[in-house]
Amino acid sequence: MSTPSVTRLVFTDLDGTLLDHYNYSYADAMPRLRALERMGIPVIPVTSKTRAEIEQLRAELRNRHPFVVENGAAVFIPEGYFPQAPAETRLYDGYWVREFAPPRSRWLELLESMDEVYSGEFSSFFRLGTRGIMELTGLPEARARQANQREYSEPVHWIGRESRRQRFQADLEAAGATVLQGGRFLAVSGNTDKGRALRWLRACFSGPVQDLAAGDSGNDCAMLEAAATALLVRSPAHAFPALRRVDGVIQSRAFGPAGWAEGVSRWLDHSAVAGENQEQ
């Protein structure tokens, strides 16, 4: 009996991982991205970014694979990508969509209710608007506008003391939100995370799967724990995120997209050897 072929997948964070922490460039990753496409290995963005932001990046990279938005809030699968629509999805705007979180309006209402206690200690993308997002992130106007087209979550910029931030986060969570610390912002959304979205999407692929998850910060931990192999991409701004797992972990030496390319190459070398051993 022949052994079923293994599907290899790369799930990847964007900011600070595939994209440079400071200038959002992916130039250092391009040779490896092209190689993965030639090898038929899907690169699947799993990110805090919005659908509008990811669609722009996918167009630039000629990436036609599924993607996960807003820290696992929803999975977007191009219509027809699989032989049939996965269970629990709805057809929307050319995608089969699996939603895990309530809409953005739920979190805007919750944040508004926090004003009485935390007035002047935080802001949000909705309040900042395009100009404020540009100032905080360095994004050009068009990209800043895309970053504010959120559907399931709200990024929060904390201005107050650290001790107050912890209380603020606890109050949000007591009110039903999940709060994740990203590279720059707190992401306020529902009971979702990147790991749950990864596991659901991975199950949509037929046959055995060998997957890699790449990330650089705390909001990537659930995804890094869920994949067969975790790639920790070195950041110039903070330490590697802490994982419970000790096996199947790669730490890059280079930063950002250069570290991403380095780690993916090491994973490909290892998975090729593992595949040869399975065939013997």
Residue spans of the domains in the chain: they are 7-100+193-277, 104-189
State which residues of the chain have pLDDT below 50: 1, 273, 275-280
In this prediction, residue 68 carries a pLDDT of 98
Annotated catalytic residue 13:
yes
d(CA 236, CA 6): 35
In this prediction, residue 276 carries a pLDDT of 42
Measured CA distances, 100 to 50, 151, 195, 196 (Å): 15, 12, 12, 9
Is the fold of 7-100+193-277 the same as that of 104-189?
A: no
Handedness of CA 125, 130, 132, 133 (dihedral sign): positive
State the first-to-last Cα distance of the chain, in angstroms, to the nearest integer: 14
d(CA 123, CA 64): 35
Measured CA distances, 274 to 227, 247, 260 (Å): 16, 15, 21
> Residue 148: which of 18, 217, 17, 49 has the closest Cα?
49
In this prediction, residue 278 carries a pLDDT of 42
- pTM value is 0.89
> What are residue 247's phi and psi, to 5 degrees?
-95, 155
Fold topology of 104-189: Threonyl-tRNA Synthetase; Chain A, domain 2 (3.30.980)
In this prediction, residue 1 carries a pLDDT of 46
CATH number corresponding to 7-100+193-277: 3.40.50.1000
Please tell me which residue in 13, 28, 211, 220 is annotated as part of the active site: 13
- The per-residue pLDDT of the chain, averaged, comes to 93
> Residue 65: which of 8, 4, 149 has the closest Cα?
8
d(CA 86, CA 58): 22
Q: How many residues does the chain have?
A: 280
